[in-house]
Each structure stands twice: as structure tokens, then as C-alpha cells.
Structure 1
Amino acid sequence: MNSSMAPEQYRKPPQLPPKFTATPSSLIEETKSLINRSRSVQDAIVQDVTPEKASFEKVVLPIALDDNNMSIESHIIGFYQAVSTDKALRDASTEAEKLLDDFGIESSMREDVFNLVDAVLKKKDPLDLESQRLLEKDHKSYIRNGLGVPAGPNRDRFKEIKQRLSALSIAFQKNLNEENGGLWFTPEELNGVPEDVLSGLEKGTGENEGKIRLTFKYPDLFPTLKYATNAETRKKVFVENENKCNDNVPLFRETILLRDEAARILGYPNHAAFRIEDKMAKLPKTVDDFLADLRERLAPGGKVEIEKLLALKKEDLKERGITDDTVSKYFLWDHRFYDRLMLERDFALDQQTIAEYFPLQTTIQGMLKIFEELFGLVFIEIIGDDRNALAESGKGSDIVWHEDVQIFSVWDDSGEGGDFVGYLYLDLFPRDGKYGHAANFNLQPGYTDENGKRRYPATALVCNFSKPTPKKPSLLKHDEVVTLFHELGHGIHDLVSRTRYSRFHGTNTVRDFVEAPSQMLENWCWTESQLRSLSHHYSYLSTDYEAAYKASSGASKKPSERIPNELISSIISTKHVNDALFNLRQLHFGMFDMTVHEPASHADIEKLDISTTYNRLRKEISQLDGPEILDHEGDWGWGNGQATFGHLIGGYDAGYYGYLSSQVYSTDMFYTVFKANPMNGKEGRRYRHTVLEKGGSKEEMEILEDFLGRKPSTEAFYKELGISQ
């Protein structure tokens, strides 16, 4: 809804949005003062409370309240490094995050505080459920941070490892964010790549005269792998992309070694056992069995899919008169190309035409409308004067970090009580130095403050879709529509969560559940009525776009405004095309993750060649060939994909399987509750209150069982993949 038409009741949210006016020096100053405040809270508790007098109110609660206050500032401090255009500010944000991480390590290893928390736990005073959970999780986290290890050289070493791991993780992610490599190609070498991609590329001068530069950012990389007819070009792009961040190779290895050493100091057999203990799976064996079962069920399908794709490849090369020794092999850099070709040839799936029906802005409006209907929400875009009115300074630019950012105030509809919910930000286009994938960032969590007053959340979607031009708006391919829906799903989880403590807010659930709510919402992108309601052909957006459409398509009249039925059918019919290969790719990531985090001994991990393991496992699991069979004579060290794999350094370690296991939960929820009627508002609201609202404030398996009315099962997941027993 446009705010110039926004009803009066939505004009004045009860809480101002955060400001984005930091400078490099203010970020560091603010961080230091947050840390000092927090440290003094802990010091005061230790000074004033003895183990005999320790209680939840005196020990755990003040720390939780401080935690609430801190997160209001600290999330934004760390957010600048993902979105700021100012390199000095990004660097300061990285430095501030390191200070916060170091302080987090120091706090988590304070034995004096731990002794008091331990005393509270042992007293077994009755507490409300969320407070009890907070006490248990806090207590456990001290033990997981080494306080169960007797003071001495082992504990000192553990602390040293924690600090080093934090520094490694920050450096690894910074290298990925700042990565700006690329390759120069002649226009001929990029034959087949869509014009709207090529026209945006840098033109060469001097020795690169006549060439264009392709970067490894998604909007360049994926279309090239999908459309470039020259296999040599695709190979080069694929291999170089796996080697784009080789500075991270030693950082990855050191991280894996240190994690293993730390887990063993704590008495765990390996890092996986340490990480999985407090997730839904509980034991590495549960994860290994799940992945092995899935692999066994998917492998035959993968084989069949490769045979079909290889037949298509042979036919394609024959038509183009190419005969060489690559004809009988199906390579990693073939897959996006022939997968797309198959969708076009066998399913009449024309991605470019489909994208014309999904201009970014109308698609977002359509999505927000779906969430309004399902969950009882209202989204009001804040623009112009309303922005100025909500900024303390009166300058609307103070409440966003870049001029492209959209901001919405989010409210309950009248049926849900009409209250304010929080703020949603959308930052949708690529920029230099910006986070390169699609993700949802919590900027400020929600919680109940010490006076029992509600503090409202703010959340941001950061994506990289192509920028609009005078001739075309930003158009989304169907898979980008799915991505947007998925990330917005995290955003909604973040907005509607109602927990007492920020520690459990929103997506702060265990990692093998956190993707389930978003994955479930992806199903809406595969249902006929939803696709139709989301669609809106771009030639209807303005007379300029209409003229540009007619000029570029040669059509004399506009197409239908909504996407035609045959295009919808072709999208839906392709949902599971080459699905086994897609899931085997996820399985490769998941199994690689478990392999490096589950060695039999520390010596085993020391002698493991990580790049070889990554590439060989991919071949064994996904069955696709790499350069090792061409010019590398069986050498598996041709690429270092793990060095570009931010997930394993950024929190998904021994947890990547969570994408697959939460797919099991999300499919179960969708089939059981929504498949019959995806727009059932009664169930939507029940889902909002039973699942999303709880955040991580209760055991995730219980949340799931409350919603399903039974224990979850893998049946729906295997049925959906067409591999049920």
C-alpha cells in the first residue's frame, strides 16, 4: 500500500525505526561503550550476589536484559560490513564485529558468572517455560565454552582457539564479500548469453580492447553457465569460480583443524558431535543415516537424469557439428546449460518470457499481499514525507543505509488486533562491496523490556537482482521468485516472533529447523492461483516500458497482463525435473560438511587433503565429471570450492544437512495443512501463532508436533520427490 494513501492509523508507529548514520569512528566508539556497559553488568552481579543468594532474577535476568539492549545496537553495527558503500565503514564494521566476538568469548568463559548460573540451576526454583529454557541454554553454553574443563593449559588453549576461530571466520567472509575477480572474453566466446547481461558488463581497453569482463557475481555467473554455447567458456568460468577465493584455502583448513582440537578438549569425539548435540538431530549418527538413506534413494534417479541430459548434449553437439572426446561425458559446467536447454525443449519453459511477467516491484507487492492474507498482516511502504517524519533528524535518508532501500512498517490487521509489528527493509540490487547472495538479516530483535513493554523488531532482506533500466524493469526468473519468497519467509519469521528474550527471537532457532518455515512458503510459488496473482507483465507498468517491449519483441500489441495458463503449466511441470541431481548437489555439500567435521582422529584430519576430498566426493555423490578426467590426469586438486563455501564458516558447520532435514519438515507441514488450500487464512494464522511466533523459545520438535498434531515423518518429502517406498 502506498503511504500517501496510508490510513492515519498507520502513520505513526509506536517506535521509531533505527538510524543508519554511523561513521567509522562512531562505530568503534559505540562498540566499546556497549562492551563496557555489558562488562559492568556482569561485574556488578558477581560483586553483589553470592552462590547462596543466587536466583534467576539476580543473576540470569540482568544479563538477559543487557543482552536485549545490546542486540538493539550490535546487529546493525555488524550489518554495515554487508551493505555499506563506504569501504572505511565496512572495515570498521568488521573490526567492531571482531571486538564484539572477542567480548562474547570473554563473557562466555567467565567462571565467576558461571558459578552463579550453576547455583541458580541447582536450586530448581520454579520458572516460566521460556525463562527455564534460557537458564538451561545459558548454563549449557558456559560448559560448551570450556568451563567444564578444569582451569589450566587445556582451558587456556581452548580460549585461544575460540579467539582464532572468530578471527578466521571474519577474515573468510570478508574475502568473499570483497572478492572482485573476473575474466575477459571476446563477444564470440560469450555467444548465447542474453543481451541484457552482456550490455551491463565492463568494456575492455588497451590489451583487452574488444573484450568484455565477466565477474563471478551471480547476475553474471549464472546466466553465462546457463546460456553460453561455448563449452570452453563455461568450463573456464566454472573452474575459475571455484578458485576465485583461494586466499581462503588455508583459512578453511586451519578452521577445520582448530574446531576438531577444541571439540576434543571438551571431551567430544569430534566437532560434529559437539555441534549436533543441541540440534533437533542430537547425534551425528542420526544425520549420517539420514544423508545415507537419501543418497541411496536419489542415486538411481541421478543416473537416469544424467543419461537423458547426455543424450540431449550429444544431439546438441551433433547439430552444431562438434565431434570431440567430450561428447560422451557430462561435466559440471554442462549441467546448468543442458538443464536449461531440456526445460526449454521438452517443457517449453522459456525463462526469459516468464521473467517478463515478474517485474520485481509488482512481484514483491503480490508476495506481501499473500502474507497479509495468510497471516493477518498489513505492509505500509514508507516514502517521501512519511520517511522524513519518522527520522529524528527530519532527514528520511537517515533511516536507510542506501538510497535504493525500501522500508515498510508492518501492522496486524484489525482481525489480529491492529497493533504495530515491526519494520521490514528491502535492499535488492548489487553494489560493489555488498553481500553477494540473498539473505535475511535481523537488524533489531523483538522482546519484552524490563517494564513489561514490547520492543518491536526490524529485519532486512538483502538480495542481488538485476537493476531496472529505462527499457526494462528488474525482471525475475522463476527461481528468483522462489528465492525472494524464501528470504521473505525468514523476514516474516523475524517480524511476527513474540518472545520474552531477544535470545530466542525469530529465526534464532536450531539450525536444522531454521530453514523449514521459509522452505514451506516456497510451495506458494508452485501453485497455479498464486503464480497467476503474483504475475503482471512489465509492458503494463508504463508507456515507456510498453514501447520498449513492442520494439524489442516486434509484437504489435501487448501480451495478456497475467501470465497465461500454458506458461504456468510449464513452470509447474518442471518442479521436479532433474531434482535428483539438485538434491545430490545439496547432499554433496552436506556430506562434505560431515566428512571434515567427523574425522576418526585428529591425525586423520591433519592429513586430509580438503580440496581433493571436496572434488572427489562431489564426483562420487553427484556423478558429474570435472576437469580431473580431462587435462588433470586424475588430479583432484583442480579447484577449491570449499574456499567459497561461506556457510561452513558462518554457522552451518556440521549443520548444512539442515537444509535437507528442514525440507523434510517443511514438506510435511505443507502437505498436511496447506496443500488442499494454500490461502487458508485460518491455518495461516494458526501457523503464525504456533510456529513462527515461538521463535526458539521452546523445543523445536515440540513446536512442530504442536502444529502437525503428531511426530514429523519423511513420507511427504519422499512422495514429493517421487521416490517413496
Structure 2
Amino acid sequence: MDKPRPPSVLAPSEIVPAMKMIISKFHHMQENIINTVTQSSACFANVFQPWAEVADETQGQLGMIWLLSYAAPDQETHDAVDAAGRLYNNAVTTWTSRTDLFALLRAAADKDEKLDPESRLWIQSKLRDFISAGHGLADERSIKQYLSKRSVIDQLRKQYNNNLRNNSAGLWIDEADLIGVSESDIKSWTVGSDENEGKRFVPFANGGYKTIIARAHKAETRKKMYLAEEAKVPANVDILRSIISMRDSQARLLGYDNHGSFRIQNRAIKSIEYVQKFLEQLKRSLVPHGREELQALRQVRDEHRLLMENDANDDGFTDNDRFYPWDLEYYKHIHSLRSSIDDTEISQFFPLEHTVLAMLRLFESFLSLKFTQIPSDLLDPACIWHEDVQVWEAWDDKESRFIGFLYLDILWREKKYKGSQNVNIESGYLKPDGTRNFPATVLMCSFPRSNESNCVLLKHQEVVTLFHELGHGMHDLISRTKFSRFHGTQLPVDFGEMPSTLLENWCWDREILKYLSCHYTLLDEQYLSEWHEKYPEAPDPPAQIPDDLVESIVKSRKTHRGLRLLHILVVSLFDLKIHTPQTHEEIEQVDLGKLWYDLREEIEGLDMICSRAIGHEHATFGHLVSGYDMGYYGYLSCLAYAQDVFQENFAKDLHSRDAWDRFRYGVLEYGGSHSDQLQMLQEYLGREPNYSALQESLLL
């Protein structure tokens, strides 16, 4: 079959004109509806269908513009994307303020025509867009005021995330204070001169912060890094407060009790009370488990300090009952080493290049797919935004049918999104002529670039992250929806993470770990030569990860897991509290920093006394201004769903063809086109979801 060309990347000079063309298409479509349709003649075919077709036609270029906001390597492109974003937000504000358009949308919806389920869902979602803009609850002037304020919120959200993305701060640290950090890491950091003679500049990004707090022996070094990173974006403190306050005001204008009540209508779980109950139940179960884990780390700390010269509580505190946040990752690492879990040794068997390829082969087997990389010499440079990017064709192996493009952009660089995520460039949908538009999706990570032999090695947790995010890409490629609006991972956030969270289970299986592994020295003779220079008396390393290391990984699964889940619970409760105040005055008066650190102390058991004085950790991550407001609990609800699905369908056989086919066609292929995700899950399971599966998986 003929296959399409990968989407072209827009040059900086093309971005704003492209956005103007997109806006023009929407404008002409809307004017045509206004000029040719009356309330009596309004129906799906002449009101909603034209809107859906323009949305489908333009989503690819919109997707490329939004992708560049995460991935563009140059400031010129980011500036152009910002300008285009302002144009788009203004246009959306204009057309969602039109009462004449809403009247026709409402009239068409009221016809209650016999339509397919996805078309009915399109009607519901478009009406919700307009009702959320105030239609039906206020006069036209109030609607415009509401939308104007929403545009201000959007700009604040953009500014908040730009502050995070563009932050290049770090600390100058004396080399003498870097004891415990590997020589290769130290060499990768900038050498100081003049007043910074004898120091290295350790950036917060590109793995610098994580390395210091997990490896530096001196507590004072870890403390300085931790507190500096917590205070890296002071401008975001007031921005976040403004966003939260304005959101609450906006929700109340629409007749909701608060912003949480407004947002919960777009979640899979439709009840704030249910979310509160779910989180409180987890709190009761998890906190005692977390305290046991913290006590174990406290014992490791006390024993370790006796062994480490110059490390005896040099943070200035002598109360051994306290446990400080800058000690957490360090003593987790020490504890892991004592449990025979050596991240450095394990990582030698998971070179990034090989591991990604092995994961693709697994997905080929599980989902009857075939991936073929487009060779760099055959790839049009206009189709990639950086030389690091790879492009793969995805095929349905059963039907020999092309299904989309998978991009890999997985190494850290300046001006790139700092975390790991899946980004959709183009959605799949059914064209008016009956053919399909094919999706294009990006695995985007920021794994630190290696400074030894140019071979990037993954810790086991990074292997889990990689498989998780690649799972989102599979969801994007496999989805087959009528409209682009519901394609792939466009799901409520309290359900959308379920498939990828489910897949994390495979990264703890002995057979799968063996399959994914390959000692990095097998990839290049130079790597092997350099390895023998380090270990001249040693034989060649084994090709696959040894059984003892595999066992150490498998046994470590529940190690510190309670503490990790407690931190997710902290963010979830913070999200819930700031978005569900009883009155607007309550949110105006709340001390966000105090609330955050109170929760960390209450839930995680850490002493945040130093952070309270200078930190603003609650304003250093982007989730709550990027779609996860009144939705962060979704990481926990999705984990509960995922464990239920795993135990019911996959635990006995990770390779079951029947189980994988049922999951592909009963969950993944729907994308977001099912009107009720929890009903879809119930249909797939054949019973009500079991929320206790999460606690059971923790042996609670």
C-alpha cells in the first residue's frame, strides 16, 4: 500500500503564517454555518460535521506547532510558537464567545438524531467547550469577560512552564565536596576559574541534581543542592497563586462550587467525594507502610554515618529522629547497595540504543506490529527538528497495513522539555472519502548524554520509564477513531495513564529483563577495548544480565515503593485542597508553601524545616498548570486499574496472545472515543474494577 510522507517541521518563519491559515479555516467554516443554517434547519451534518472536518484537517499542523514548544532547539522557534499560541488562544476566545454559534450548536444537539456513538460524543464535547465558556449561564458581555480572563490564565500557564523549561541554573561546588560522585560525572561538569577555581558547575538539569542528592557523601553538599533546586524559579510562586485564584473565580462565575467541581466533569471519576474517599483510604494504608520504610532508612543512615569519616551529621542538626529530604535519595541508594542492588552495574546491561530496539521488538510480538526505521540518508531533513531524532514506520503485521510514524527523541538538550513524555504530532481519523489519516507520535525523553564512549546507560528505573512512555506511543499508533478529537491518549487524565502503567509490570519480569539486556561492550569494539583498560585482568563481561542482578532487581520492586507512592499522594492531596476550597476567600488566604510542606511532613514523615524558610517546591513542577489540575490523583487511580487488569489478564502469562488481542481491541483501539472509560474497563474485565488491587500489589 502507499504510505504517506512523515510530517514536515515548520521553520520559525512559517509558524505564525501557518497558525493564521488554521484560524482562517475555522473562521470561514463558522461564518458559513452562521450564514447558511437556521435553528430550525440545524443538525449534525450542517453544524457539527463541518466543525469536526476542519478540526481534523488542521490538527496535524497544530500538533507540529505544539510539539516544537517542547522540542525546538532554538529560541527563535520557541518565540514563534509563543506568538502563534497567543493568536490561537485569542481566536478560541473569540469563537467560543459567540452566542449565535452556540445557539446553532444547541439547536442541532436538541434534534437528538440517531447517530453513531462517536458522533454523539463529539456533540457532547463541543457543547461542553461552549458551556465551559459560560454559555447558558451568563449574558454575552459576561461571557467575553470570562473568556478574556481565561486568556490571561493561559498566558500565565505558558509563562510558568517557560520559566521551568528555560531554567539553566545550578551550583558551583568544590571538587572536594563531590566525594562519592563518579569521575565521569564530575568530568562532565564545567570547570571553574577565578572565584570558582577548584569548583565544578553542577546544573539542576541533565541529571546533575539527581546525581548529587543520590551520590554525594557529604550531607552539606546534598543539602545545598536540594535547597537551591527548590528555590530555582521564584517567579513561579506568584504566578501559581494567581492561576489558582483566577481559576477558582472563573469556576464560581459558571456556577460551580470551585475549580475542582468544574474540572471533575471531564474526568473518568465524576465525583470529588469519591476522589477524597479514595485518597483517604490510600493514606490510611500507605502512611504506616511508608513509616516502616523511613525507619529502615533512618537505621541505614545511622549505621552509615559511623563508617563515613567527615560525614557525621554535617548538616548542623543532631536530632537523629529527624529525616531530611536531601538525605532521602542518598540513603535509598546506600540501602539498595546493601541489598545487592547496584544501579551502576545494572545499567551496563541496558544501553539506551539496544534497549529501545528490544522494547520495540517486544511490542511487535505483543501487538502484532512491525517497526522499520527510516535510514538517515533517506530521511528528508525537513521531517525532523534535531539531528538526534529517529523516525520509524509502524505497520500492522497481521494485515500488512501501514498504521503511522513513531519518532524517537530521547536525549537531553538545551531548551527541550526536561522530563519524559509522549507527544502526539498528528492524530488518526477517518477522512470524508473513507480513507484514514495516519498518526505520528513522539517518544520524548531527556536521558543525560553520556561522556564516556558516547554510550548512554539506563538505570533500571529509567528502563521502566522508557517502557511506560513507549506504551503511550503504542496507544497512539493503535487507536482507530472516527474523529481526531478522540484519537489515542486523548483521555481523562485519571484513566489515560492506565495502559502505560500496566506495562510497567513487564519491566520486573525475569524473562523480559533478560531479553531487554545486552552488555554495552557488545555494541562496539571500542567500548570493549575501553572496558578492558579499566579491568585488565577481567574476562569479557557476560552478554546478558546475570541471574543474580536480575534477582536483585525483582526483589527490589517493593523497596521504597511506599515512599514513592506517598509523594504522589502528597501532590494529589495538595491538588485536591487548592482546587476545592469552600469559599473564594479560603483560597485567597491559604499559604501554599505551608500547605505543601505540611503535607510532606504529615504524609512522608520528612523534616522540611529548612525548606520552609527558602523553598517553593510546589512551584517547581508543571503538572498542575498543564492539565493535571484536579487530576493528579489519576496516577494513583490508574495504578489501581492497571494492577487489576494485570492480575486478571496477564499475571499468569505475559505473552498471552488472547490477552493482548483483547487489550488491543477492547481498550487501546478505542482511544478516547468511548463515552465512559470506567464502563469500558468494566466491559473489558467482565466485572466491576477492583480498587483494592493497588493495596494488594503492595502487600498491604
TM-score (normalised: structure 1): 0.94
The correspondence for 1:464, drawn from 428, 439, 446, is 446
Residue in 1 that maps onto 2:374: 382
Residue in 1 that maps onto 2:155: 167
Residue in 2 that maps onto 1:408: 392
- Map 1:553-572 → 2, pairs under 5 A: 553-572=535-554
Residue in 1 that maps onto 2:342: 350
For 2:24 and 2:201, the matched residues in 1 are separated by: 48
- Map 1:17-416 → 2, pairs under 5 A: 17-20=6-9, 22-151=10-139, 154-321=142-309, 322=312, 325-345=318-338, 347-387=339-379, 396-413=380-397, 415=398
Deviations along 1:684-722, one digit per CA (max 9) or x if unpaired, are: 122111111101101211221122111111132111011
Task: Say which SS state the counterpart of residue 409 (structure 1) adopts.
Answer: strand
Q: Is the Cα–Cα contact under 8 Å of residues 472 and 548 in structure 1 kept in the other structure?
A: no
Single out whichever of 583-592 and 471-480 deviates more from structure 2: 471-480
Q: Is the Cα–Cα contact under 8 Å of residues 615 and 637 in structure 1 kept in the other structure?
A: no
Single out whichever of 603-612 and 137-146 deviates more from structure 2: 137-146
Deviations along 1:516-535, one digit per CA (max 9) or x if unpaired, are: 01101111101111000000
Deviations along 1:367-389, one digit per CA (max 9) or x if unpaired, are: 001100000000001113432xx
Residue in 2 that maps onto 1:650: 626
Task: Say which SS state the counterpart of residue 626 (structure 2) adopts.
Answer: coil
Deviations along 1:618-638, one digit per CA (max 9) or x if unpaired, are: 11111111234xxx8xxx343
Following superposition, the deviation at residue 456 of structure 1 comes to 0.0
Query: Which residue identity is paired with 1:406?
Result: Q
- Map 1:404-553 → 2, pairs under 5 A: 404-413=388-397, 415=398, 417-469=399-451, 471=453, 473-553=455-535
1:694 matched to 2:676? The reply is: no
Task: Say which SS state the counterpart of residue 496 (structure 2) adopts.
Answer: coil
For 1:192 and 1:94, the matched residues in 2 are separated by: 42
Q: Is the Cα–Cα contact under 8 Å of residues 201 and 212 in structure 1 kept in the other structure?
A: yes
For 2:147 and 2:693, the matched residues in 1 are separated by: 44
Query: Which residue identity is paired with 2:501?
Result: Q
Task: Say which SS state the counterpart of residue 625 (structure 1) adopts.
Answer: coil
Query: Which residue identity is paired with 2:214?
Result: K
For 2:532 and 2:460, the matched residues in 1 are separated by: 23
The correspondence for 1:715, drawn from 678, 692, 698, is 692
Task: Say which SS state the counterpart of residue 437 (structure 1) adopts.
Answer: coil
Q: Is the Cα–Cα contact under 8 Å of residues 133 and 143 in structure 2 kept in the other structure?
A: no
Q: Is the Cα–Cα contact under 8 Å of residues 197 and 219 in structure 1 kept in the other structure?
A: no
Task: Say which SS state the counterpart of residue 184 (structure 1) adopts.
Answer: strand
- Unmatched tracts of structure 1, length 5 or more: 1-11, 388-395
Q: Is the Cα–Cα contact under 8 Å of residues 260 and 271 in structure 1 kept in the other structure?
A: yes
Task: Say which SS state the counterpart of residue 387 (structure 2) adopts.
Answer: coil
Task: Say which SS state the counterpart of residue 512 (structure 1) adopts.
Answer: helix
The correspondence for 2:617, drawn from 637, 641, 644, is 641
Q: 1:455 to 1:571 in 2, by over 3 A?
A: same
1:703 matched to 2:683? The reply is: no
Query: Which residue identity is paired with 1:679?
Result: H
Q: 1:226 to 1:240 in 2, by over 3 A?
A: same
Q: Is the Cα–Cα contact under 8 Å of residues 81 and 91 in structure 1 kept in the other structure?
A: no
For 2:29 and 2:159, the matched residues in 1 are separated by: 30
Residue in 1 that maps onto 2:635: 659
Following superposition, the deviation at residue 612 of structure 1 comes to 1.4
Query: Which residue identity is paired with 1:241?
Result: E
Single out whichever of 695-704 and 656-665 deviates more from structure 2: 695-704
For 2:4 and 2:166, the matched residues in 1 are separated by: 35
Following superposition, the deviation at residue 13 of structure 1 comes to 5.3
Deviations along 1:448-497, one digit per CA (max 9) or x if unpaired, are: 11111100000011111122456351000000000100110111111111
Q: Is the Cα–Cα contact under 8 Å of residues 600 and 608 in structure 2 kept in the other structure?
A: no
Query: Which residue identity is paired with 1:343?
Result: S
Following superposition, the deviation at residue 100 of structure 1 comes to 1.6
Task: Say which SS state the counterpart of residue 660 (structure 1) adopts.
Answer: helix
Task: Say which SS state the counterpart of residue 403 (structure 2) adopts.
Answer: strand
Query: Which residue identity is paired with 2:321?
Result: S
Task: Say which SS state the counterpart of residue 68 (structure 1) adopts.
Answer: helix
Query: Which residue identity is paired with 1:403?
Result: E
What fraction of aligned residue pairs are identical, expressed as a percent?
Answer: 35
Q: Is the Cα–Cα contact under 8 Å of residues 493 and 634 in structure 2 kept in the other structure?
A: yes
RMSD: 1.4
Residue in 2 that maps onto 1:679: 655
Q: 1:311 to 1:543 in 2, by over 3 A?
A: same
For 1:86 and 1:612, the matched residues in 2 are separated by: 38
Query: Which residue identity is paired with 2:535?
Result: S
For 1:553 and 1:243, the matched residues in 2 are separated by: 42
Query: Which residue identity is paired with 1:25?
Result: S
Q: Is the Cα–Cα contact under 8 Å of residues 472 and 545 in structure 1 kept in the other structure?
A: no
Single out whichever of 93-102 and 163-172 deviates more from structure 2: 93-102
How many pairs are equivalent? 694
Deviations along 1:389-442, one digit per CA (max 9) or x if unpaired, are: xxxxxxx211111111111000010x2x11001000111111111111111110
Task: Say which SS state the counterpart of residue 297 (structure 2) adopts.
Answer: helix
Query: Which residue identity is paired with 1:325?
Result: T
Task: Say which SS state the counterpart of residue 688 (structure 1) adopts.
Answer: helix
For 1:621 and 1:553, the matched residues in 2 are separated by: 45
Q: 1:716 to 1:555 in 2, by over 3 A?
A: farther
Following superposition, the deviation at residue 328 of structure 1 comes to 3.4
For 2:288 and 2:452, the matched residues in 1 are separated by: 48
Q: 1:543 to 1:290 in 2, by over 3 A?
A: same
Q: 1:295 to 1:102 in 2, by over 3 A?
A: same
Task: Say which SS state the counterpart of residue 325 (structure 1) adopts.
Answer: coil
Q: Is the Cα–Cα contact under 8 Å of residues 99 and 140 in structure 2 kept in the other structure?
A: no
Following superposition, the deviation at residue 327 of structure 1 comes to 3.5
Q: Is the Cα–Cα contact under 8 Å of residues 317 and 327 in structure 1 kept in the other structure?
A: no
